[in-house]
Amino acid sequence: MNRENPATQAALGGGIRRLSHGLFVTALLLVGLAAPAAAADLDQAATLVREGKYQEAYDLLLPSRDAQSGDAEFNYLLGRAALGSGRAAEAHVLLEKSLDLRPGDVKAHLALGRALYAQDKFGEARIEFETVLQFENLPTDLLTQVEIYDQAAAQHLDDGSRLTHFAYAESGFGGYRTNSTRGSTGGDQDSTFFNLRTGGGIDYLLEDGYALDANLDYRFRYHDEDGVRNDSDLRWRFGASRTLGDDNLAGGIRGRVSYRGNGQYRNDYSLFTTYRHQLDEDDQLSFGAEVRRRRYPEGNLRARSRTTADVNVGWTRVVNDQATFSLTGHGGRNYATSRPDGDSTIYGAIVDLDYTFTDTLGWYIFAWWEHDNFNVDAYHFHPDEEDTVILRREDNLYEFGTSLVWTFAPGWTFRPEVLYIRDESNATNFNYSSTEYWINVRKAF
């Protein structure tokens, strides 16, 4: 049997060891060089995205897509680059993946909302935006709401501003008519009116998903008939919120000052909290609670001052990308009141459907109902009956409304609306019904 010379074996073994060592060192060097290169690519991509050079950022990152698919920041930057370069569907996938890896990232939520909006998925976009932004007194229609949210998201992502905002002014004319009920004669307060509304909101984004917000909304209506009240109403809100994964927790104070005619005012102020939970891309649950004081400082309405404690639960479902269906129930109690009928237990619901036909035409319809059950016995009074029947007052309040929204120029919308109100009560004097209709033109800033 032939055997290798020991010297030859030793030389061969040494060569193999040297070769292995060389390969190991080379591998370490390659790994060491690769890691800084990847980090440098992300820094450079972030700079390009910040400067609005989305195609350059996309070209830079795309070759590393498979290798860095588990990196939340990489997916976010490539998603932003894809969105900015006109690849909204691809951005949608990338930004969802970034949020899976880094839940609760505010910028990724806002960018995902913009990607959904760019695909005309208006319902999903609103749910995504509401995970971060808190704007109150928005128009009822889905199309305008999502446009406002998208502009605010662009201010934060593209302009680098922590302070996002929206503002508006609208005006128009309409008609008001009281309808016949058991307690009133129809047609005795027909009038036409001129109306004006203006306001806006700000949202300041802090670190770790926290945000501060404030809103103002002023409404005025002037009637051309004597004896019809000219209304004015100022609504305000200050709040704070935090993004928690796919959810949002908010709270704060809000109120309104309303002119009630004949020199009388009504003041409302409340503490509130809301929690929004995103079940999935198409479903959102909401939970809320509020304690509100309604105060009439003076005059014959002063006895109506009261405190209300109320809770609500709501569900919003996206239908067909461009529509939302919402159902909200609420219940609570009115107390600390001087009303002759006493305190009252309340419960009710609101259902609405918001449909966007195109990116310039939308439609909204809603129905609202509340039942008030009072706790003090009273005489039944009616001019044609004797006051011998004892009753406890019960009211059923209804509102039905619909509106059409047409965007006829950038930032400009045309808005015809109709509202029907019906109050039904076993106490005759509290029956009421009216129909209102108006046409407004709104300008967004």
**Residue 142 and residue 361: Cα distance in Å, rounded?**
10
What is the distance of C-alpha 197 from the center of its chain? Answer: 20
More confident residue, 176 or 311: 311
114 burial type by CB count under 10 A (0-12 exposed, 13-18 middle, 19+ buried): buried
CA atoms within 13 A on the CB side of 259: 15
- Residues whose CB is less than 8 angstroms from the CB of residue 351 and which lie 6 or more positions away in sequence, other chains included: 325, 326, 327, 328, 366, 367
Please, are residues 401 and 365 in contact by the beta-carbon 8 Å criterion? yes
pLDDT exceeds 80 at position 156: yes
Mean pLDDT over 152-178 rounds to 94
Give residue 40's pLDDT.
41
Residue 312, helix vs strand vs coil: strand
Mean pLDDT over 201-224 rounds to 94
What is the distance of C-alpha 191 from the center of its chain? Answer: 34
**Residue 312 and residue 281: Cα distance in Å, rounded?**
22
Tell me the average pLDDT of the chain: 87
CA nearest to 276, candidates 265, 266, 286, 264:
286
What is the distance of C-alpha 253 from the center of its chain? Answer: 17
Measured between alpha carbons, how far is residue 178 from residues 271, 399, 419, 442 in Å? 34, 14, 12, 27
Give residue 184's pLDDT.
59
- In the block, residue with structure tokens 């939308």: 362
Give residue 183's pLDDT.
59
Mean pLDDT over 93-122 rounds to 95
- The whole-model pTM stands at 0.83
Q: Assign 3-class secondary structure to 367-411.
A: EEEEEEEEEEEEECCECCECCCCEEEEEEEEEEEEEEEEEEEECC
**Residue 126 and residue 319: Cα distance in Å, rounded?**
13
**Residue 231 and residue 221: Cα distance in Å, rounded?**
5
**Residue 44 and residue 38: Cα distance in Å, rounded?**
10
Q: What are phi and psi of 135, to 5 degrees?
A: -115, 130
How many distinct helices (H) and strands (E) make up the chain?
7, 14
Please, are residues 346 and 334 in contact by the beta-carbon 8 Å criterion? yes
Measured between alpha carbons, how far is residue 39 from residues 36, 58, 66, 91, 326 in Å? 5, 16, 16, 21, 45
pLDDT exceeds 60 at position 1: no
pLDDT exceeds 80 at position 271: yes
Show me where the domains of the chain are located: 163-444
Q: What percent of the chain has pLDDT over 70?
A: 86
Tokens matching residue 442: 């709104």
Please give the CATH superfamily to which domain 163-444 belongs. Answer: monomeric porin ompg (2.40.160.40)
Residue 274, helix vs strand vs coil: strand
For the chain, the helix, strand and coil percentages under 3-state DSSP, each to the nearest 5 = 30, 50, 20
pLDDT, tens only, 426-445? 887 889 999 999 999 999 99
Please, are residues 79 and 53 in contact by the beta-carbon 8 Å criterion? no
Beta bridge partners of 91: none
pLDDT exceeds 60 at position 402: yes
- Residues whose CB is less than 8 angstroms from the CB of residue 11 and which lie 6 or more positions away in sequence, other chains included: none
Please, are residues 306 and 334 in contact by the beta-carbon 8 Å criterion? yes
pLDDT band at 137 (very low <50, low <70, confident <90, very high): confident
